[in-house]
Amino acid sequence: MASKKIGKTSLVLIILIFLLALFLRILAFTEFKDNMNIRYDARNYWIMSHQIVEDGVYGYYYYDDNGNIIGNVQPGQPNARVMPGYPVFLAVVYKILGDKYLQITAVRLIQIMANSLCTVLA
């Protein structure tokens, strides 16, 4: 298999694409940085990450306004039906930072970097 050399022009173009991707994502982040409202799948993953750290359980359940568990699930029982990679990543970030709002911000910034890299690595 022959190795291909990346020319100087190509390298500059790749760097410019990465910087543009990073800039656009940071621009969107700054627009919504104070919005800590997470919903749908993001909320489920967030709940799972906290239960992994706080309860040692890989699962999720919801509480109503009175603190009662919604649905037919038992606390302390694993009930997740998703692959563990992303919830474990979130749990590690939460464990390191210890603050649920800082966790959201840190994960968003990590995802900005990873997603920007994907634009040039693909």
DSSP string for 52-111: HHHH--S---EE-TTSPEESS--TTS----S-SHHHHHHHHHHHHH--HHHHHHHHHHHH
Identify the pLDDT of residue 116.
94
Give per-10-residue mean pLDDT for the chain (122 aa).
73 93 93 78 83 83 69 71 86 89 89 93 80
Identify the pLDDT of residue 58.
83
